[in-house]
Amino acid sequence: MNQSHSFPTDDPLDGDTLHEECGVFGILGHPDAAALTALGLHALQHRGQEAAGIVSFDGKRFYQERHMGLVGDHYTNPMTLARLPGSISIGHTRYSTTGEVAMRNVQPLFAELEEGGIAVAHNGNFTNGLTLRRQIIATGAICQSTSDTEVVLHLIARSRHASTSDRFIDAIRQMEGGYSMLAMTRTKLIAARDPTGIRPLVMGELDGKPIFCSETCALDIIGAKFIRDVENGEVIICEIQPDGSISIDARKPGKPQPERLCLFEYVYFARPDSVVGGRNVYTTRKNMGMNLAKEAPVEAEVVVPVPDGGTPAALGYAQESGIPFEYGIIRNHYVGRTFIEPTQQIRAFGVKLKHSANRAMIEGKRVVLVDDSIVRGTTSLKIVQMIREAGAREVHLRVASPMIFFPDFYGIDTPDADKLLANQYADVEAMAKYIGADSLAFLSIDGLYRAVGGEDRNPARPQFTDHYFTGDYPTRLLDKNGESMGNKLSMLASNG
């Protein structure tokens, strides 16, 4: 295995940030596998900005490049790509949910097995990862990372099945929680999605070669064709045959369960141009804004989005209400997503750097501000104040998703419940007062369901994963037992 990384491994971050997701990309049998993977990861950058890695195989050896930072910081360098030869490749952009921000947790993770090397890339989070980790450590395993993903490698190694595919299936069947996973061996690319289908994963094709990635925007960037979603609970095994052809074997190893995609993919995470679960994300966000305008109308002269997340919903609100849409806030694109920053102080500073009021569009007007979500309230507090300082007569905040009361354990890494703004105030009026808005309203859960899936939430069998709004977790939470995720790996806290 070629190890060519040498990056710092310190982790000053606390375990209390609302992180995003991760992005995965894999391709089998293409001569430009690593370069295509790098391009795919570029398109998936919004899903994870802490670190990015690529593993390739050239018929003889595995190669890896794993780096802290953005995809463009490393994989635009032809020398880096030259160190990733071969026609099989998988890649990952990371936002940590379990395990610190350190080189040892940067994916793909690689292991030498009896029958050869295997690399895995994981978007999601296992809700029994720590429980299984304790069990394998108790029986002699030596873990190299603090990532929940590593447990899968150990379970593959311990499986009694003969083929790598069966070992992989054996391993993931023991895992609970949310996962869209890719694995690669010397001849195979394997894709798997958890039984509930919490995280997205799609299959595409370029020049007849199979591709798997988190979102369709990664297919579009390389001109690949969308084939279909990987189904919930499905494992697809693609293998290069001795004659050079590629076999594709799709299996559903577990008990069938209804799919429940994560609603937050539509509210915030996925790129607006992606098609997630057959739905164009931009359209669902516009629908959210339209439903919000119906549910919470207000008299005003201008609708202003909180960019970027709030923009499609604000357009929907403006179209439905007939109030003109204007860019009353200008976004500095050199500042990333703010609610993922490590400390509250830095987050607040980031929000200030990121948004400026466009006074000419605001002064003397009653403004409807539209954002996609309120998590801690950092953004809302600053933006409402900024709009007032720019001369707005009234500021009405409209949020295109319901109030967030519950933490996530499936790959989002929300703050602890007590840090969520909705849990700090008795009602919406009290929240509005804290934020400094003349009025505040959230989209209802049914309004959100209709915006995404066209029908109300079915309480007996919810169509989507929505626990952050409702407390209805789609799986059991074995590791949790009342502890926060941030505390779970405290026994493993380290610098590298």
Ligand X SMILES: O=P(O)(O)OC[C@H]1O[C@H](OP(=O)(O)OP(=O)(O)O)[C@H](O)[C@@H]1O
Ligand Y SMILES: NC(=O)CC[C@H](N)C(=O)O
Kindly state whether residue 21 participates in binding ligand X, applying the rule CB under 6 A. no
Cβ-proximal residues to 119 (8 Å cutoff; 6+ apart), any chain = 55, 62, 64, 90, 108, 109, 110, 111, 183, 184
Question: What's the burial of 392, exposed, middle or buried (CB within 10 Å: 0-12/13-18/19+)?
Answer: buried
CA neighbor of 40 nearest in space, from 3, 75, 80, 85 = 75
How distant is the alpha carbon of residue 190 from its chain centre?
20
**Residues identified as active-site:** 22
Kindly state whether residue 475 participates in binding ligand Y, applying the rule CB under 6 A. no
**48 residue type, one letter:** G
Nearer to ligand X, 253 or 486 (CB): 486
Residue 122 touches which of ligand X, ligand Y, none (CB < 5 to 8 A by kind)? ligand Y
* Alpha-carbon span 96 to 102, nearest angstrom: 9
Binding mask 306-325 toward ligand X (x if CB under 6 A, else -) reads x-xx----------------
Smallest distance from the beta carbon of 375 to ligand X, in angstroms? 3
Residue 124 touches which of ligand Y, ligand X, none (CB < 5 to 8 A by kind)? ligand Y
Tokens of 360: 């000419």
Q: What is the DSSP string of 158-209?
A: H---SSHHHHHHHHHTT--EEEEEEEE-SSEEEEEE-TT--S--EEEEETTE
Residue 99 touches which of ligand X, ligand Y, none (CB < 5 to 8 A by kind)? ligand Y
**DSSP at 307:** T
The DSSP bridge partners found for residue 238 are 189, 248
Residue 215 touches which of ligand X, ligand Y, none (CB < 5 to 8 A by kind)? none
Residue 153: what are its φ and ψ, rounded to 5°? -60, -40
Confirm if 132 and 151 have CB atoms less than 8 A apart.
yes
Kindly state whether residue 22 participates in binding ligand Y, applying the rule CB under 6 A. yes
Selected binder of ligand X within 338, 414, 444, 465 (CB under 6 A): 338
Smallest distance from the beta carbon of 349 to ligand Y, in angstroms? 24
Kindly state whether residue 49 participates in binding ligand Y, applying the rule CB under 6 A. no
Most distant CA atoms of the chain, gap in Å? 72
Residues 264-283 that bind ligand X (CB under 6 A): 268
Nearer to ligand Y, 99 or 407 (CB): 99
Residue 378 touches which of ligand Y, ligand X, none (CB < 5 to 8 A by kind)? ligand X
Binding mask 379-418 toward ligand Y (x if CB under 6 A, else -) reads --------------------------------x-------
**369 residue type, one letter:** L
Cis peptide before 308 (omega within 30 of 0): yes
Cis peptide before 78 (omega within 30 of 0): no
* Alpha-carbon span 294 to 77, nearest angstrom: 50
Nearer to ligand X, 24 or 420 (CB): 420
Confirm if 125 and 411 have CB atoms less than 8 A apart.
yes
Binding mask 71-110 toward ligand Y (x if CB under 6 A, else -) reads -----------------------xxxxxx-----x-x---
Nearer to ligand X, 240 or 340 (CB): 340
Question: What's the burial of 9, exposed, middle or buried (CB within 10 Å: 0-12/13-18/19+)?
Answer: middle
Cβ-proximal residues to 427 (8 Å cutoff; 6+ apart), any chain = none
Residues 355-394 that bind ligand X (CB under 6 A): 371-380
* Nearest residue to ligand X, scored by beta-carbon proximity: 309
Smallest distance from the beta carbon of 328 to ligand Y, in angstroms? 32
Nearer to ligand X, 133 or 354 (CB): 354
Smallest distance from the beta carbon of 64 to ligand Y, in angstroms? 16
Nearer to ligand Y, 21 or 220 (CB): 21
Nearer to ligand Y, 51 or 211 (CB): 51
Kindly state whether residue 127 participates in binding ligand X, applying the rule CB under 6 A. no
Cβ-proximal residues to 244 (8 Å cutoff; 6+ apart), any chain = 29
* Alpha-carbon span 273 to 262, nearest angstrom: 17
Residues 138-157 that bind ligand Y (CB under 6 A): 147-149
Residue 146 touches which of ligand Y, ligand X, none (CB < 5 to 8 A by kind)? none
Listed ranges 254-262, 314-322, 334-342, 457-465: which one lies at the site for ligand X (CB under 6 A): 334-342
The DSSP bridge partners found for residue 355 are 331
* Nearest residue to ligand Y, scored by beta-carbon proximity: 22
Smallest distance from the beta carbon of 108 to ligand X, in angstroms? 26
Nearer to ligand X, 48 or 195 (CB): 48
Smallest distance from the beta carbon of 126 to ligand Y, in angstroms? 7
Residues that bind ligand X (CB under 6 A): 268, 306, 308-309, 337-339, 371-380
Residue ranges in contact with ligand Y by CB under 6 A: 19, 21-22, 94-99, 105, 107, 122-125, 147-149, 411
